[in-house]
A and B are shown apart, each in its own frame.
Chain A
Amino acid sequence: MKIQEITSLISGTVVEGEAFIDRDIDCAFASDLMSDVLTLRTDKSVMLITGLCNTQTIRTCEMSDIKVVMFVRGKKVTEEMIELAEDNDMLLITTDFSLYRTAGILFNAGLPGVY
């Protein structure tokens, strides 16, 4: 699924990585537990949906080869996070929707889970 379709479905805003708007996402994983994100085993293009908004969210995605992160419930992304994301060619999206609603809408629209 294209980023543009994803952002439009959940009324999201791209806050970093506009240049990568054409990226295609194969599947998504929703979690606030970074320990869980670090156990993902997949070669597919994954988007993380999370309510955990700090630098370790970005670091975890860097190590896990996750290039797209969606922050739910209107979380504010800090400058430090944006710099880290920029350094790693990541795309960051925010939405006011809850994690449950975001995941539900995207799943219904055809974006599968990792597992």
Chain B
Amino acid sequence: MHFEYNVEGGDFTNAGTTSSKVKKMMKQLGVDPAIVKRTVVALYEAEVNIVAHAYRGVIYVDLEDTSVSIKLVDEGPGIPDINQAMQKGYSTASPQVREMGFGAGMGLPNMQSNSDKLVVNSVVGKGTTVEIVNYF
């Protein structure tokens, strides 16, 4: 099953709606709750990152019998140094993002620990692509 969702940068009111839909879908399909949780935590972190840092983005979800593959493609400033961004505590989040309870430099490392496969690619001035794969 293939799904696509649009995400608007700066729209904190709706941040998490895609993750919520994916969670409900995975639960309905009877996926192990522990895997559902890992997947939606990683996805939610990535979705909040689009809202916090990018202008807009698209989330592509492929739900198969034995895996879920999620690709988040955003148009935004990009990440100049991905290794630095993966380090715990490193953050470029705005005060608004911090007021929402995020921006502590924990998102990317947490996405890594909640994914079987995580690939981050970025082009400065264009945007970032994040791929998350979890196996059932």
- Binding site of A, secondary structure by majority: helix, strand, loop or mixed? helix
Instruction: Sort chain B's interface into a size bin.
Output: 20 to 34
Selected A-B contacts with CB under 8 Å, 26 pairs? A34-B100, A35-B101, A35-B102, A38-B44, A38-B110, A39-B106, A54-B100, A54-B101, A55-B12, A56-B15, A57-B101, A59-B15, A59-B16, A59-B19, A59-B44, A60-B44, A60-B101, A62-B16, A63-B16, A63-B19, A63-B37, A63-B40, A63-B44, A64-B41, A65-B33, A80-B13
Which B30-55 residues sit within 8 Å CB-CB of chain A? 33-34, 37, 40-41, 44-45, 48
For A52-89 the 0/1 string (1 means CB < 8 A from B) is 10111101101111000000000000001000000000
Given contacts A35-B102, A35-B104, A38-B41, contact A63 B12 (CB under 8 A): no
A-B contact number at CB 8 A: 63
Report the interface size for chain A: residues with CB under 8 A from the other chain: 21
